[in-house]
C-alpha cells in the first residue's frame, strides 16, 4: 500500500549544509530554478525583532541577484562554459541555505533566536563571503549581459566585498541576550526574576500576550527536539522554565476551556480498535508488548504491574517476566494515523528526553518551583470565582506537563486549595471552575507520591466522589472517574475505593447515563475495570447492577463492556455468574458481529460463564440460532486466544448436547447458580 508523504510526522531536525544539492537540470532549467528561488527569498519578510538589519541586507542582495537570472532566462540561448555552470550550481545551493535560515529564524522560537544571535549573525556573514567569492569567479563577460544588469552585478559584488570584514550584531540585541543569560544564572541561585525587567524583555521580543507566550513555549519544545548537543538542550530547557514562569506572572491565566474543546474534538474521532490500550481504552502513545504477546500502553501496563498484578490483564495468564518490549511498528502506525487526523502525537521517548533534561537543569527546576508557588499563592488570595478559575486552569495545565511540575505544585500546597472548588455549590455557580479543579487533581494524581497526598488531604476524596455523583457537567464527572481510576492504581487505595458505595454507584451511573459521544463513559468503564480486580469490590459492583449496566451499554461500547464483564465473571464468584445470565445473548451477538478484540473477550467470558454456571447457562447459549457456526468462524479467523477460547466453547456445547457435564460447574455449584438465576428472574419480574 502506498503511503502519502503527508502521513508522516513533519521534519523537525534541520538539514545540514551538506544536505543541499543542486538539481541536475539543463542549463535553462537551472536558470529558471535560480530565478524562482531568488524571487522566493526576495518575497520573505526580514526578521522582525532580532537580526532585522542583517536579514534585510541578505534579502536585498538576493533581490539584486534575481535581476541577473531574469536577464539570463530572457536572453540567453547558448550553452554555458563549465566554470559558469559550476558557479550557478553552487549559487543554487547557497540560496537554498539562505532561504532555510531565514524561514527557520522567522518561524522558530524568539528566545532561542536571541540566545543564538551571534551564531546566526556569523551564518549570514559566511553566506555573504560565499556569495562574494562566487560573484568574483563568475565569468560575467561570457554571459553577455546588458549594461544595466552588468552594473547591478558589479554593485552587488562591491556590497559583498565591503561586508566581508566581520559579522554584525546589533548592540541592543547583544545587551538583551546578556540580560536573559544573567536572569537564567540568577534562577539557578533561586533569585526570583524582576518582573519589570522580565516584561521589557518579552515585549521587546514581541511576546506580549498569554497566547504568544504559549506559542513561544511550544516553539522551544520543538527546538529541543532538533538539538543533539547537551549544552543547547540545557539552555533550551532553562528557557522553557523562564517562559512558563513569565506567562503566569506577566500575562495571567489563559482562556479556560481551550483544552476541553481540544479533548472533545479528538475523543469524538473513532480510534482504530488496535490503537486503543485494552486497560485505559485510550489511544496508545507508547505501545509495549508483555510476555504473553499482548500490547498495552506503557503507562497503563506499568501501573498495572506496580499495583501488584502478575497476570496479563487481557488473557489472565501469569506473566513469565515483567519486561516491556516496545512495539515500534504499531507506534509508527499510530503516529501516521494521528498525523492524518491532525491529532497531536508525542512519543514517550521525546517526552522522556524533555523530562530528564528538566531534572538536570537547576534553572528550569527553580523556574518551575517559582511558577507553582506563584500560582498557589495567587489562588490562596483569590477573592472571586472568576479570578480563581484562571489560576486553577493554569495549575491544571502546569500539572499536565511533567512529574517535576506535579511535585512542585503539590509541595506548594495546591491540593487543599483545589478541594474548595469541587463542591456542588461551585459547580452550580461556575461549572468551568469545578471542571478545572477536578482535572488539576487528576493530573496531579499521575505522580505516585501525589496519590498519597490526595488520599490523605481532608475532603479531597469526598470532593472527587461528589463531583462524580453530582458534577455540573459530564466533563467534570468523567474526569472525576478518571481520578478514581488513577488513585486505584495503588492496591491499598483500590480496596478502600471499592468499599465505598458512592464510588460504585457514581461510576455505574456515569457509564449508563453518560452521553454517547466523548470519552466520559469510557472513563467510568476503565475505573470499574480497575476496581473489579478486587473480589470485594466485584461483589459490590454486582449488587449495584454492573451486569445490567453492561447489557445496556454493550451496543454502544462493545469492547469496553465485554472487557469489564470478562473481569467481573472471572473474579466475581456465584453472584456474578448468576447475574451474567441475562448477558449471554448479548455476548452471542458480539461474538457474531463485534470487532476482533471484542469477539475474543466475548468468547473468554462465555467460556467462564458456561464452565462455572452450569447447564442452564449452556442451554441459553445453545438456544441462539447459528451459534455453532459463529464459533466455527471464530476458530478460523480470530486471534490466537480467540481461537483457543472458541474451541473450548464449542467443546462445552457439544458435551452439553451429549449429556456430558464434566467441563461445566459441579452439581452443587450449578444448583446454587440455578437458584440465584431463579431469584434474579423473580425479582426482575
**577-589: per-residue pLDDT in tens?**
888 888 899 999 9
C-alpha cell at 200: 521589557
Say if CB 251 and CB 209 are below 8 A apart: yes
C-alpha cell at 363: 534553572
Using the predicted structure, report yes or no on whether residue 524 has a pLDDT greater than 70: yes
Name the region of 413 (left: φ>0; alpha: ψ -120 to 50; beta: rest). Answer: left
384-544: same fold as 273-349? no
Using the predicted structure, report yes or no on whether residue 255 has a pLDDT greater than 50: no
What value does the mean pLDDT of the chain take? 83
Say if CB 42 and CB 83 are below 8 A apart: no
Element (H, E) at 196: helix 195-204
C-alpha cell at 345: 502525537
- Smallest CA-to-CA distance from 181 within 238, 221, 136 is with 238
Mean pLDDT for 350-360 is: 50
State the Cα–Cα distance between residues 592 and 594, nearest whole angstrom.
6
Sheet holding 295-297, edge to edge: 295-297, 287-289, 325-326
Mean pLDDT for 662-682 is: 49
Domain chopping of the chain, boundaries: 27-169, 273-349, 384-544
- Smallest CA-to-CA distance from 445 within 484, 501, 475, 502 is with 484
State the pLDDT at residue 41: 92
Place of cell 502519502: 4
Q: Are strands 325-326 and 295-297 parallel, antiparallel or unpaired?
A: unpaired
State the pLDDT at residue 74: 84
Lowest mean pLDDT among 268-282, 287-301, 408-422, 449-463: 268-282
Lowest mean pLDDT among 244-258, 447-461, 520-534: 244-258
Say if CB 37 and CB 31 are below 8 A apart: no
State the Cα–Cα distance between residues 58 and 473, nearest whole angstrom.
56
The neighbour count for residue 18, using CB atoms within 10 Å, is 7
**607-634: per-residue pLDDT in tens?**
999 888 888 889 999 999 999 999 999 9
Using the predicted structure, report yes or no on whether residue 4 has a pLDDT greater than 80: no
CATH H-level, domain 273-349: superfamily: Zinc/RING finger domain, C3HC4 (zinc finger) (3.30.40.10)
pLDDT classification of 436: cutoffs 50, 70, 90: very high
Using the predicted structure, report yes or no on whether residue 286 has a pLDDT greater than 50: yes
**Residue 296 three-state SS:** strand
| Fold that domain 384-544 belongs to in CATH | 1.25.10
State the pLDDT at residue 77: 62
Distance of CA 571 to the CA centre of its chain: 34
Amino acid at each position: 500500500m502506498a503511503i502519502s508523504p503527508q502521513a508522516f510526522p513533519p521534519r523537525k531536525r534541520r538539514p545540514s549544509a551538506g544536505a543541499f544539492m543542486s538539481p541536475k537540470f539543463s542549463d535553462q532549467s537551472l536558470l529558471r530554478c535560480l530565478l524562482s528561488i531568488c524571487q522566493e527569498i526576495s518575497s520573505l519578510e526580514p526578521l522582525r525583532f532580532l537580526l532585522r538589519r542583517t536579514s534585510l541586507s541578505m534579502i536585498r542582495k538576493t533581490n539584486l541577484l534575481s535581476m541577473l537570472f531574469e536577464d539570463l532566462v530572457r536572453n540567453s540561448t547558448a550553452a554555458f562554459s563549465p566554470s559558469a555552470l559550476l558557479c550557478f550550481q553552487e549559487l543554487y545551493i547557497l540560496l537554498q541555505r539562505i532561504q532555510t535560515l531565514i524561514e527557520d529564524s522567522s518561524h522558530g522560537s524568539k528566545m532561542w533566536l536571541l540566545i543564538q544571535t551571534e551564531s546566526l549573525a556569523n551564518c549570514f556573514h559566511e553566506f555573504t563571503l560565499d556569495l562574494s567569492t562566487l560573484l568574483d569567479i563568475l565569468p560575467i563577460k561570457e554571459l553577455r549581459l546588458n549594461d544595466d544588469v552588468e552594473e547591478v552585478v558589479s554593485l552587488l559584488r562591491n556590497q559583498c566585498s565591503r561586508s566581508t570584514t566581520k559579522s554584525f550584531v546589533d548592540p541592543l540585541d547583544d545587551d538583551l541576550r546578556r540580560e536573559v543569560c544573567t536572569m537564567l544564572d540568577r534562577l539557578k541561585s533561586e533569585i526570583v526574576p524582576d518582573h519589570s525587567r522580565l516584561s521589557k524583555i518579552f515585549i521587546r521580543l514581541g511576546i506580549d500576550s498569554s497566547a504568544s507566550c504559549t506559542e513561544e513555549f511550544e516553539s522551544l519544545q520543538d527546538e529541543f527536539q532538533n538539538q543533539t548537543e547537551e549544552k543547547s538542550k540545557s539552555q533550551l530547557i532553562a528557557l522553557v522554565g523562564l517562559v512558563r514562569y513569565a506567562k503566569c506572572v506577566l500575562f495571567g491565566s489563559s482562556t479556560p476551556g481551550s483544552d476541553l474543546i481540544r479533548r472533545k474534538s479528538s475523543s469524538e474521532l473513532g480510534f482504530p480498535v488496535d490503537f486503543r490500550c485494552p486497560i485505559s481504552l485510550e489511544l496508545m502513545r507508547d505501545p509495549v508488548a508483555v510476555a504473553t504477546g499482548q500490547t498495552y500502553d506503557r503507562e497503563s501496563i506499568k501501573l498495572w504491574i506496580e499495583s501488584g498484578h502478575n497476570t496479563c490483564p487481557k488473557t489472565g495468564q501469569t506473566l513469565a517476566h515483567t519486561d516491556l518490549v516496545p512495539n515500534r511498528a504499531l507506534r509508527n502506525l499510530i503516529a501516521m494515523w494521528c498525523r492524518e487526523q491532525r491529532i497531536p502525537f508525542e512519543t514517550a521517548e521525546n517526552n522522556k528526553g524533555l523530562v530528564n533534561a528538566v531534572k538536570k537543569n537547576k534553572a528550569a527546576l527553580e523556574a518551575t518551583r517559582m511558577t507553582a508557588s506563584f500560582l498557589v499563592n495567587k489562588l490562596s488570595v483569590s477573592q472571586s470565582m472568576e479570578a480563581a478559575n484562571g489560576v486553577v486552569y493554569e495549575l491544571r495545565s502546569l500539572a499536565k506537563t511533567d512529574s517535576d511540575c506535579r511535585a512542585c505544585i503539590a509541595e506548594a500546597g495546591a491540593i487543599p486549595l483545589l478541594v474548595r472548588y469541587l463542591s456542588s455549590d461551585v459547580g452550580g455557580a461556575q461549572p468551568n471552575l469545578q471542571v478545572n479543579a477536578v482535572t488539576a487533581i487528576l493530573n496531579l494524581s499521575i505522580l505516585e507520591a501525589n496519590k498519597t497526598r490526595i488520599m490523605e488531604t481532608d475532603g479531597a476524596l469526598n470532593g472527587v466522589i461528589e463531583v462524580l455523583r453530582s458534577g455540573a457537567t459530564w466533563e467534570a464527572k468523567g474526569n472525576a472517574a478518571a481520578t478514581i481510576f488513577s488513585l486505584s492504581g495503588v492496591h491499598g487505595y483500590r480496596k478502600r475505593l471499592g468499599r465505598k458505595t458512592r464510588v460504585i454507584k457514581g461510576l455505574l451511573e456515569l457509564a449508563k447515563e453518560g452521553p454517547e459521544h466523548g470519552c466520559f463513559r469510557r472513563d467510568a468503564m476503565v475505573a470499574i475495570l480497575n476496581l473489579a480486580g478486587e473480589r470485594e469490590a466485584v461483589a459490590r459492583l454486582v449488587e449495584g447492577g454492573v451486569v445490567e449496566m453492561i447489557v445496556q451499554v454493550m451496543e454502544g461500547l462493545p469492547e469496553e463492556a465485554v472487557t469489564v464483564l470478562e473481569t467481573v465473571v472471572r473474579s466475581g464468584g456465584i453472584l456474578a455468574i448468576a447475574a451474567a445470565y441475562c448477558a449471554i445473548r448479548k455476548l452471542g451477538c458480539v461474538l457474531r458481529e463485534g470487532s476482533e478484540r471484542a469477539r475474543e473477550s466475548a468468547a473468554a467470558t462465555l467460556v467462564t460463564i458456561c464452565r462455572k454456571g452450569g447447564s442452564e447457562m449452556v442451554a441459553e447459549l445453545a438456544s441462539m440460532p447459528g451459534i455453532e457456526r459463529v464459533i466455527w468462524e471464530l476458530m478460523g479467523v480470530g486471534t490466537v486466544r480467540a481461537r483457543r477460547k472458541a474451541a473450548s466453547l464449542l467443546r462445552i456445547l457439544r458435551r452439553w448436547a451429549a449429556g456430558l457435564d464434566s467441563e461445566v460447574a459441579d452439581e452443587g455449584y450449578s444448583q446454587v447458580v440455578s437458584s440465584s438465576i431463579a431469584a434474579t428472574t423473580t425479582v426482575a419480574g
